[in-house]
Chains A and B, each alone.
Chain A
Amino acid sequence: MIQIMRVGGVHIESGIVYLAVIDPSDLGLGTPVLVAQPKLTPNPDLIDAEALEDLTGRVRQELDGAGVRAVGLVGTRAFKGLQYKNVYSRVFGMCAVMAACTRLGLKYETLKTEIIGTTVQCPAKALEKIDPGAFQFDRPPVYWKAGLAQAYAAAATMCARAGS
């Protein structure tokens, strides 16, 4: 039996984790799979170690429930003039995603935006402008502009890699 390689894409914007899951499809870039909580926010009221464990648990729950086999995370384009607080919240989210993938035994990759852009035929600097119709959406889903578009682009890249 051929198993469909369901994949996940993650984008972190202002410390918030956006998660998209797709199945490979002949139509467009993939068929979206419903995720219970596509937007995961770290708990600001917990001390950091507990907040990381909590976010990891929630990311894990979504990936586990969606049944993904591989996860791609949109890499950063900012390497200069970084502010610690911005970097910290991003790395915090990345750690949670990486730890969740490791615990579930999933393949994980951080994807360069150029590679994602080439795959989804969208400028690397403006992945948020990807057409929602490429994922069979009639209109942009909730959180599309907030960061979900980039997560879908990353998922499509993982999907293309799995197929090649």
Chain B
Amino acid sequence: MTTPAFSASHANDGTNPERTRLLRLQFECLQTLPVGSNPVRVWWDQNLECYRVGKRVDLSSVDGVLPEPATLQKIKHDNVVEVLAAPAVEGLIAPLRAIEIITPYYPRGSVTDAFLRGERFSATESVRIVQAGLRGLGHLHEVHRILHRDIKSPNLLLDDIHMAKVADLGCAGALAADGTVEALDIPTLYSPPELVRTGVLTRASDIYPMGLILLELLRGGFDYEAYPKSVVTDRLLRGMSPLTLEERRRPIWLSRSLRRVLNQALQGQPARRFPTASAMDNALSRARVIDWAETDDHCWEAPYRHHRDRRIRIEAASRRKGGFRLSMHVDRGSGWRRHGVTDVDVDALDSTVTRRFFDQATDIAIVR
């Protein structure tokens, strides 16, 4: 099976320019390969009357990287984007060789696309999206023994039924018998520290970016524009996370259990991270999660988990002598009332005492 180079015959039906368009990441820190080298385009399949996505993979530049197209085609999982076909691209001059990986089109796009549209995710949605991604990742790791090597929010597609799907196996590599695979020199904002430290990746190397995606979903998209490729590479080479301390800051309402999951997923040493995708998935299932949202300045509200007509609120009122006084209120359907928890004074909002106060409120709102 072949597909013509560039102006593909099925690329345009001549009536709607939107029916063929390139999907392009605008931000350097999200780009795995230079712009134009592996174009991704969405096109209208006239025969089946649906959109498809085609990603051109230049085999001459990634020799030995991509699993065999036949392997890709065998991967069937609710949380992995299905490969429908992988025809060779016609008309390229030797030694250039390329295939086009054809997949279904997901209209909601990726997690990054959602952020760029201004969408935000509740904590519950965030956890479910990452769990879905982890199940797809676990399938790649354990059943097909493939490491993705390019997990990032643009490669986690949103799906209304299955929450999320892992996409783009263009950089995937087969795991050796010892569970390792060589790293590729493709630093992104989501790259684990061992990419430059050892050059050897394990399953835990795919867990690290999943932790970053979870953090991103919980706090809102990263400032992609602030990270040119040179900054990402430089910080990785210096053994640092490409993300600034501010962007790595956890929301203050994050529960202790969810914080623990994030901390373990984002450990610098791979051996201290979750060893498998299912280990992180199970830890997320044990985490206490309610949907806090900042409704006003220094005011956070969340619905009860099992009583949707009830809400809990934490207010942080500024004190004259500095710091804040935290108070808890509950609305059981008849207006806000103070909850029987003593107010707490804190010097700063980002403190252990504040986090404990939120933990207490989370425990109250999660009871059946």
Instruction: Identify the A interface with B (CB < 8 A).
Output: 36-37, 40-41, 43, 45-47, 54-55, 57-58, 60-62, 64-67
Report if B279 contacts A (CB, 8 A).
Answer: yes
**A-B contacts at CB below 8 angstroms, number:** 53
| Alpha-carbon gap, A146 to B276, bound state (A) | 23
Instruction: Identify the B interface with A (CB < 8 A).
Output: 77, 131, 135, 138-139, 141-143, 275-279, 281-282, 285-286, 288-289, 305-306, 366
Is the Cβ of B278 less than 8 Å from the Cβ of A61? yes
A residues in contact with B366, CB < 8 Å: 45
| Known interface pairs A45-B305, A47-B306, A57-B131; A65-B278 also in contact (CB < 8 Å) | yes
> Separation in Å of the A13 CB from the closest CB of chain B?
17
Is the Cβ of B278 less than 8 Å from the Cβ of A36? yes
> Separation in Å of the B206 CB from the closest CB of chain A?
14
Q: Can you identify 26 A-B contacts, CB atoms within 8 angstroms?
A: A36-B275, A36-B276, A37-B278, A37-B279, A37-B282, A40-B282, A41-B286, A43-B286, A45-B288, A46-B305, A55-B285, A58-B278, A58-B281, A61-B139, A61-B277, A61-B278, A64-B138, A64-B139, A64-B142, A64-B143, A65-B139, A65-B141, A65-B142, A65-B276, A65-B278, A67-B143
> Separation in Å of the B268 CB from the closest CB of chain A?
23
Give the dominant DSSP class at B's interface: helix
A36's partner among B135, B279, B306 (CB-CB below 8 A) is B279
| Alpha-carbon gap, A22 to B306, bound state (A) | 39
B residues in contact with A41, CB < 8 Å: 282, 285-286
A residues in contact with B286, CB < 8 Å: 41, 43
A residues in contact with B275, CB < 8 Å: 36
Is the Cβ of B285 less than 8 Å from the Cβ of A58? yes
| Alpha-carbon gap, A66 to B139, bound state (A) | 10
**Which residue of B138, B141, B282, B289 has the most chain A CB atoms within 10 A of its CB atom?**
B282
Given contacts A45-B305, A61-B139, A61-B277, 10 further A-B contacts (CB under 8 A): A36-B276, A40-B282, A45-B288, A45-B289, A58-B285, A60-B135, A65-B138, A65-B142, A65-B278, A67-B143
A residues in contact with B306, CB < 8 Å: 47
> Separation in Å of the B308 CB from the closest CB of chain A?
9
Is the Cβ of B135 less than 8 Å from the Cβ of A61? yes
B residues in contact with A62, CB < 8 Å: 278
| Known interface pairs A57-B131, A57-B135, A61-B139; A43-B285 also in contact (CB < 8 Å) | yes
A residues in contact with B281, CB < 8 Å: 57-58, 61
A residues in contact with B142, CB < 8 Å: 36, 64-66
